[in-house]
């Protein structure tokens, strides 16, 4: 189909060349299944001539019976001055059992001289022999013309000769690579258009992101006639990464009218992006286009007011098309619309005419001015709203706490907390040791509450973050503590602020325990009301 573009995913090969990305065979197999379900056409699983892990991957991936994607193994052209049939790297591709091979060869005369240190003629022969050998072995061959754009800019005749060798040897695809990621979209478009005129085989693009143009260059190549895009999930890859398929695919499909994957598969893009980031243990930027947590998050009061009237006012597409969702944040930049949406999520009766709206907004703004941050502390915000609207039962009140940290030479540090709280009219006085002051406070507080609230045993702190702010004014420096707490079903976040780190921690901890005890609403699990959240009629 003229308007269809094949997606070639190289997360498992070029993606793992990114700093910090390391995938086990199990990880690669799990990701391969997700990519297959997403509908990509090719999955480049690794380089069998490089390491045993990749050999094992190709062995085991056969058992997965992928429904859609073709698995391809990567390698280079034969080494100089050897025969293709004797080349261990090419033979490992055959032994891997794949039906598709992807090999790269040199297009840039400078690289031929400097990197592989051979003659221009020998490089042409390396390309021809290697592609021919794989074709004679019955494989589909994708030829990656490494550094094609730099090569073409330096010596267009030679760059074209290299890909003509691949064409003559029967390559099924010729993929032009912006290996150093230094080209601009205009250059890419012009050169791809020229190659499409010159070469009979279908053309692909493999762009790196060194100028933050990996996606733009891929789109420019497609506009100029390329019909395969190579890239990675979340843009992982060597140096600054590869073209990010999580942006390439929706742009091609939703903006440029090309067909890549089915609409239902596109709607799985966000979960796949997050899954891969989890498995790769790579932090996902909140502002990542299309799939990031903040890609459709609205913070400014003006924006929220407008999206309630029509989501298109501040959303370029309906988030559901890529499996993401609209979010509304509450902060000092909020107006009444933000709080109304939040209150609706919490099923609180809180409409525009409620006289308390203004005072709650003022309270949020005042606390944010003091250093609170409710964006990352949904549970503290919920407590604040509930307190303002419904009044909250006092599950406990603090009378005092004391912390003792003792370090003797040659012995481990011992931390002990003593807590005095009033619970149901009775003063509870407990002490506990912990591996640090916050842990000791947490254990002592839960010990005090246990006789009245035995379920508190299932509640645990899972994350603790401290941030110092007002650094310039050191005498008044404050700390903000964010605590994440979880029980068997869900997790929630609370915030505390003080000039004293222990007091800030206590504030966040007390909120987290109050939230656990006051029958929280589990915001994440609640069904939202589409009409009010502006999710309809995009």
Ligand X SMILES: CC(=O)SCCNC(=O)CCNC(=O)[C@H](O)C(C)(C)COP(=O)(O)OP(=O)(O)OC[C@H]1O[C@@H](n2cnc3c(N)ncnc32)[C@H](O)[C@@H]1OP(=O)(O)O
- Per DSSP, the three-state class of 47 is coil
11 is a contact residue toward ligand X (CB under 6 A):
no
CA 244 centroid distance within chain: 11
Question: Toward ligand CC(=O)C(=O)O, which CB reaches closer, 101 or 322?
Answer: 101
Smallest gap, in angstroms, from Cβ of residue 178 to ligand CC(=O)C(=O)O? 8
Residue 237 beta carbon to ligand CC(=O)C(=O)O: minimum distance, rounded to whole angstroms: 8
77 binds ligand X (CB under 6 A): yes
> Residue 235 binds which one of ligand X, ligand CC(=O)C(=O)O, none, with CB within 5 to 8 A depending on kind?
none
Start-to-end CA distance of the chain, whole Å, equals 29
Looking at the Cβ atoms of 148 and 396, the one nearer to ligand X is 148
- For position 47 contacting ligand X by CB under 6 A, the verdict is yes
**Burial of 414 per CB tally in 10 Å (0-12, 13-18, 19+):** middle
Residue 422 binding ligand X, by CB under 6 A: no
Our finding on whether 179 is near ligand CC(=O)C(=O)O (CB under 6 A) is yes
String marking each residue 145-164 x if it binds ligand CC(=O)C(=O)O according to CB under 6 A: -x------------------
Closer CB to ligand CC(=O)C(=O)O, residue 41 or residue 106?
106
Query: Between residue 244 and residue 283, which ones bind ligand CC(=O)C(=O)O under the rule CB under 6 A?
Result: none
Helix (H, G, I), strand (E, B) or coil at 449: helix
Provide the minimum distance between the beta carbon of 114 and ligand CC(=O)C(=O)O in the complex, in angstroms, as a whole number: 16
Residues 10, 162, 165, 179: which binds ligand X (CB under 6 A)?
Answer: 179
Check binding of 206 to ligand CC(=O)C(=O)O (CB under 6 A). Answer: yes
Beta strands per DSSP E along 407-486: 414-423, 426-434, 460-469, 478-486
Q: Does residue 72 interact with ligand CC(=O)C(=O)O by CB under 6 A?
A: no
CA distance linking residue 15 with residue 69, whole number of Å: 18
Supply the minimum distance, in Å, between the C-beta of residue 216 and ligand X: 20
CA distance 137 to 126: 17
Backbone angles phi and psi of 189, in degrees to 5: -60, -45
Closer of 239 and 467 to ligand CC(=O)C(=O)O (Cβ): 239
Binding segment toward ligand X, per CB under 6 A, in 71-79, 356-364, 412-420, 423-431: 71-79
Look at residues 414, 441, 419, 411 and name the one whose alpha carbon lies nearest to residue 505. 441
Q: Residue holding tokens 């790297």?
A: 89
Could you say which of ligand CC(=O)C(=O)O, ligand X, none residue 206 binds, taking C-beta under 5 to 8 angstroms by partner kind?
ligand CC(=O)C(=O)O
Is position 125 an interface residue for ligand X (rule: CB under 6 A)? no
**CA 375 – CA 297 distance, rounded (Å):** 11
Burial class (CB within 10 angstroms; exposed 0-12, middle 13-18, buried 19+) of 511? buried
From ligand X, ligand CC(=O)C(=O)O, none, interface partner of 105 (C-beta below 5 to 8 A by class): ligand X
Q: Is 116 in the site for ligand X (CB under 6 A)?
A: yes
Tell how far CA 384 is from the center of its chain.
Answer: 31
Interface pick for ligand X out of 11, 72, 76, 218 (rule CB under 6 A): 76
The tokens for 105 are: 């060869």
Residue 364 backbone phi and psi in degrees, to 5: -60, -45
Which ranges of 268-377 does DSSP label H, i.e. alpha helix?
Answer: 269-280, 301-309, 336-345, 356-370
Q: What is the DSSP letter of 528?
A: P
**Torsion angle of alpha carbons 285, 286, 287, 289, nearest 10°?**
80
User: Residues 147 to 176: which contact ligand X by CB under 6 A?
Assistant: none
Nearer to ligand X, 56 or 503 (CB): 56
Distances (CA, A) of 463 to 269, 435, 509, 512: 28, 14, 11, 12
- Residue 165's H or E segment, with its range, is helix 156-168
Give the binding-site size for ligand CC(=O)C(=O)O (rule: CB under 6 A).
8
Whose Cβ is closer to ligand CC(=O)C(=O)O: residue 178's or residue 345's?
178
Which one of 44-52, 134-142, 239-247, 515-523 is the stretch in contact with ligand X (CB under 6 A)? 44-52
Residue 356 DSSP symbol: H
CA 497 – CA 479 distance, rounded (Å): 6
Give the separation between CA 428 and CA 447, rounded to whole angstroms.
9
CB 395 within 8 A of CB 383: no
Cβ proximity to ligand X: between 178 and 511 the closer is: 178
Say how far apart CA 339 and CA 87 lie, in whole Å: 66
The residue whose Cβ lies closest to ligand X is 50
In the complex with ligand X, the residue whose CB is nearer, 167 or 378, is 167
**54 binds ligand CC(=O)C(=O)O, rule: CB under 6 A:** no
Residue 232, interface with ligand CC(=O)C(=O)O (CB under 6 A)?
Answer: no
Quote the CA–CA distance of 43 and 41 in Å, as a whole number: 7
| Binding characters for ligand X, 214-253, by CB under 6 A (x = yes) | ------------------------x---------------
How big is the chain, counted in residues? Answer: 538
Per CB under 6 A, the list member of 30, 33, 37, 50 interacting with ligand X is: 50
Name the burial class of residue 282, with classes exposed (0-12), middle (13-18) and buried (19+) by CB atoms within 10 angstroms of its CB. Answer: middle
Contact 465, 474 (CB under 8 A): no
Binder of ligand X out of 28, 92, 106, 480 (CB under 6 A)? 106
Interface size with ligand X, residues (CB under 6 A): 17
Residues of this chain that interact with ligand X (CB under 6 A) are 14, 17, 47, 49-50, 76-77, 79, 104-106, 116-117, 126, 146, 179, 238
Residues of this chain that interact with ligand CC(=O)C(=O)O (CB under 6 A) are 14, 104, 144, 146, 177, 179, 206, 208
């Amino acid at each position: 189909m003229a308007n269809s573009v094949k997606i070639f995913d190289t997360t498992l090969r070029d993606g793992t060349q990114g700093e910090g990305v390391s995938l086990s065979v199990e990880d690669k197999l799990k990701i391969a299944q997700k990519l297959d379900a997403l509908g990509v056409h090719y999955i480049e699983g690794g380089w069998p001539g490089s390491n045993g892990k990749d050999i094992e991957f190709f062995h085991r991936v056969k058992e997965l019976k992928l429904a859609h994607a073709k698995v391809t193994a990567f390698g280079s052209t034969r080494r100089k001055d050897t025969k293709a049939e004797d080349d261990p790297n090419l033979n490992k591709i055959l032994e891997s059992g794949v039906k598709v091979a992807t090999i790269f060869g040199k297009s840039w005369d400078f690289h031929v001289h400097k990197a592989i240190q051979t003659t221009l003629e020998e490089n042409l022969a390396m390309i021809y022999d290697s592609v021919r050998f794989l074709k004679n072995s019955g494989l589909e061959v994708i030829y990656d013309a490494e550094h094609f754009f730099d090569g073409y800019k330096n010596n267009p005749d030679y760059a074209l000769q290299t890909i003509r060798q691949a064409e003559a040897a029967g390559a099924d695809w010729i993929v032009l690579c912006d290996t150093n990621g230094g080209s601009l979209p205009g250059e890419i478009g012009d050169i791809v258009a020229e190659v499409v005129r010159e070469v009979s085989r279908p053309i692909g693009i493999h762009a790196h992101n060194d100028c933050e143009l990996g996606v733009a260059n891929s789109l420019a190549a497609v506009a100029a006639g390329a019909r395969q895009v190579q890239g990675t999930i979340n843009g992982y890859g060597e140096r600054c990464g590869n073209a990010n398929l999580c942006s390439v695919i929706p742009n091609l499909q939703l903006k440029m009218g090309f067909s890549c994957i089915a609409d239902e598969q596109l709607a799985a893009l966000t979960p796949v992006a997050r899954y891969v980031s989890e498995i790769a243990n790579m932090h996902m930027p909140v502002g990542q286009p299309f799939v990031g947590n903040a890609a459709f998050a609205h913070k400014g009061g003006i924006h929220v007011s407008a999206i309630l009237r029509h989501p298109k006012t501040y959303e370029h597409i309906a988030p559901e098309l890529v499996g993401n969702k609209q979010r509304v944040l509450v902060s000092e930049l909020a107006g009444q619309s933000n709080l109304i949406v939040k209150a609706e999520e919490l099923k609180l009766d809180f409409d525009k005419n409620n006289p308390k709206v203004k005072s709650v907004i003022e309270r949020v703004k005042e606390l944010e001015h003091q250093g609170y941050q409710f964006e990352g502390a949904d549970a503290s915000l919920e407590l604040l709203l509930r307190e303002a609207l419904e009044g909250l039962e006092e599950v406990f009140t603090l009378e005092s706490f004391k912390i003792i940290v003792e370090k003797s030479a040659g012995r481990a540090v011992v931390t002990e907390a003593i807590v005095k709280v009033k619970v149901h009219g009775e003063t509870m006085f407990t002490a506990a040791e912990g591996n640090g002051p916050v842990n000791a406070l947490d254990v002592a507080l839960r010990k005090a509450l246990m006789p009245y609230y035995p379920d508190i045993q299932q509640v645990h702190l899972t994350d603790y973050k401290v941030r110092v702010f007002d650094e310039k004014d050191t005498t008044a420096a404050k700390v903000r503590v964010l605590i994440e707490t979880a029980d068997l079903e869900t997790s929630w976040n609370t915030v505390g602020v003080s000039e004293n780190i222990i007091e800030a921690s206590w504030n966040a901890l007390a909120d987290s325990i109050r939230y656990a005890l006051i029958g929280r609403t589990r915001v994440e699990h609640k069904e939202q009301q589409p009409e009010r959240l502006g999710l309809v009629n995009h």
